[in-house]
C-alpha cells in the first residue's frame, strides 16, 4: 500500500490578490473534513514534507476517491505566498499533463488558527523518481519502465512545458522540473506538478527584480541561474534535457561519479554515439520490446539522446524551444507506437 499512497507535490509563487474567483468556484472543504480524511493528520497518512507544508493522503466522506492533500505550514516564511500563488497558477492553467487541484480549504482550525490546504487528485503510480530509482524491497518485485513508457512519459512532459511556455499568457516557467515532480496516473500518463518555484515571465521592467535568483534543484538547475540571470523558458528546457538523459541512462545528475567538472551531459557527450549502449539503463533492455536492440538505437534511442544533449547545452542560446522539442518527441512516440501495432 505504501507505493499506492505515494504522492509528492508542493506549490508556490508570486502575487496574492488576483485569485479569489478561483476559490469561490470550488467545492468548500472544512478543516474538520481534512482532519477526518487524514485521521487527524496522522504521520501514517503523511507522504511528504517540505519547509512550507506536508502532503497527506486521505479519503473524504463525501467522495470515494483517494485524494492528496497539501497542508501549508503557515508559520514558515513564504507559505502564505505559496498558497495564494498556487491558486493563481491553478486558475491560469488547464492541460491533461499538468496536475490539477480539485479544491481548496481556507478557514480556521479548531484552535482558531488560520488554516490553508490544497486538494489534488491522487496519482496512484507515484512519481517518476520512484520508477527510475526504486528503493528495493525484498517482498516487492523491482519496477522498471519500458522504452515505450519512457518515450510516452517524455512526450507528456514536453507537451506540458510547451503549453506553459507557448500557450499560457504570460508564459509560465516551472523552474524546478525533476523526476520527483512528475506524477504518474493509473495508465502511466505523466502529470507535471509542484509549481512551488514557478514564475510567470515578467511583462515589464518593473517585474524584472522578481524574476532573478537561483530557482530549482542542483543537477537540474540551468547554469545561467547560478550566475544571477533572469528565469526563462531556456531554464526549463535545460532541466528537461537533464531529465531525458536521466531517463535513458538511469543515472541521477547528482550521482557521486559526477565530480571535478564531470556532469551527466558531458559524460554522455564523451561516449555518444559510438558507445551509447554502454550507458543505457538496463531496464530499457529488459521488457522484451518487439524491435531488435539495433533498431531501437537507430530509430528511438539515438534520437532521444540527441534531444537530451541539445536541451542540456550549457548556453541557453544553443538550446531548442519546447515547441520544437515537443514536435520531435511526438514524432518519435508515433513511430514507436506504429511499430508495435
Catalytic residue IDs? 176
Long-range contacts of 46-53 (CB under 8 A, 24+ apart): 47/5, 47/6, 47/7, 47/8, 48/7, 48/8, 48/9, 48/10, 50/10, 50/196, 51/76, 51/78, 52/10, 52/12, 52/76, 52/78, 52/79, 52/82, 52/196, 53/10, 53/79, 53/82
Q: Do 236 and 224 form a contact (C-beta atoms < 8 A)?
A: no
Q: Please give the torsion angle defined by the CA atoms of residues 63, 68, 71 and 77, in that order, rounded to the nearest 10 degrees.
A: -150
Residue whose cell numbers read 557527450: 269
The whole-angstrom separation of Cα 279 and Cα 271 is 8
**Those residues with Cβ within 8 angstroms of residue 160's Cβ, 6 or more apart along the chain or in another chain:** 95, 97, 98, 190, 191, 192
26, with CB counted inside 10 A (0-12, 13-18, 19+), is middle
**Those residues with Cβ within 8 angstroms of residue 93's Cβ, 6 or more apart along the chain or in another chain:** 100, 163, 164, 168, 172
Distance of CA 263 to the CA centre of its chain: 21
Helices (H), 167-258: 233-249
Amino acid at each position: 500500500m505504501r507505493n499506492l499512497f505515494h504522492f509528492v507535490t508542493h506549490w508556490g509563487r508570486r502575487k496574492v490578490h488576483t485569485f479569489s474567483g478561483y476559490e469561490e468556484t470550488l467545492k468548500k472543504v472544512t478543516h474538520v473534513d481534512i482532519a477526518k480524511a487524514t485521521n487527524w493528520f496522522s504521520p501514517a497518512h503523511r507522504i511528504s514534507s517540505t519547509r512550507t507544508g506536508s502532503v497527506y493522503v486521505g479519503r473524504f466522506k463525501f467522495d470515494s476517491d483517494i485524494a492528496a492533500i497539501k497542508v501549508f505550514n503557515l508559520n514558515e516564511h513564504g507559505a502564505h505566498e505559496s498558497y495564494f500563488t498556487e491558486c493563481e497558477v491553478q486558475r491560469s492553467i488547464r492541460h491533461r499533463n499538468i496536475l490539477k487541484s480539485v479544491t481548496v480549504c481556507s478557514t480556521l482550525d479548531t484552535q482558531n488558527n488560520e488554516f490553508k490546504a490544497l486538494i489534488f487528485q491522487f496519482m496512484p503510480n507515484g512519481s517518476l523518481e520512484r520508477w527510475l530509482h526504486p528503493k528495493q524491497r525484498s517482498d516487492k518485485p523491482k519496477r522498471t519502465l519500458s522504452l515505450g513508457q519512457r518515450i510516452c512519459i517524455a512526450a507528456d512532459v514536453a507537451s506540458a512545458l510547451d503549453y506553459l511556455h507557448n500557450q499560457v499568457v504570460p508564459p509560465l516557467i516551472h523552474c524546478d522540473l525533476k523526476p520527483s515532480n512528475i506524477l504518474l496516473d493509473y495508465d502511466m500518463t505523466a502529470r507535471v506538478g509542484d509549481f512551488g518555484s514557478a514564475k510567470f515571465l515578467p511583462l515589464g521592467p518593473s517585474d524584472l527584480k522578481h524574476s532573478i535568483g537561483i530557482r530549482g534543484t542542483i543537477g537540474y538547475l540551468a547554469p545561467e541561474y547560478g550566475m544571477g540571470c533572469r528565469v526563462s523558458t531556456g531554464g526549463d528546457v535545460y532541466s528537461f534535457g537533464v531529465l531525458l538523459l536521466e531517463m535513458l541512462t538511469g543515472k541521477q545528475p547528482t550521482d557521486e561519479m559526477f565530480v571535478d567538472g564531470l556532469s551527466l551531459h558531458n559524460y554522455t557527450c564523451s561516449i555518444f554515439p559510438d558507445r551509447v549502449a554502454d550507458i543505457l539503463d538496463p531496464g530499457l533492455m529488459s521488457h522484451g520490446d518487439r524491435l531488435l536492440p539495433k533498431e531501437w538505437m537507430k530509430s528511438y534511442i539515438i534520437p532521444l539522446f540527441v534531444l537530451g544533449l541539445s536541451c542540456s547545452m550549457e548556453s541557453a542560446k544553443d538550446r531548442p524551444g519546447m515547441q520544437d522539442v515537443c514536435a520531435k518527441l511526438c514524432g518519435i512516440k508515433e513511430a514507436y507506437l506504429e511499430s508495435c501495432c
